[in-house]
Structure 1
Amino acid sequence: MTRARRSMDWGFPRWRPYGSSQEATNVRICDRHGCDEPGNCPAPKAPNSPERWYFCQKHAAEYNSKWDYFEGLDKAEKEERANAERQESSGYTESAHYGWAGSGDGSRSADEMRALEVLGLEADADFNAVKKAYRNRAKEVHPDVKPGDANAAKQFQLIQTSYEVLRAAEERREWRG
Structure 2
Amino acid sequence: MPKQRRNDDWGFPRWRDYGAERAATTVRLCDRDGCTNVGDRPAPKAPNSPERWMFCQEHAAKYNAGWDYFRGLTPEEAATRAASEDRQRNYRRASHWEWGGEGDGSRSRAELDALRVLGLDADASADAVKAAWRTAAKASHPDVAGTSPEVAERFRAVQAAWAVLQAADAARAQAAERDAR
TM above 0.5, yes or no, is: no
**TM-score normalised by L of structure 1:** 0.43
Larger Rg: 2
TM-score, with normalisation over the residues of structure 2? 0.42
Decide which structure has greater helix share: 2
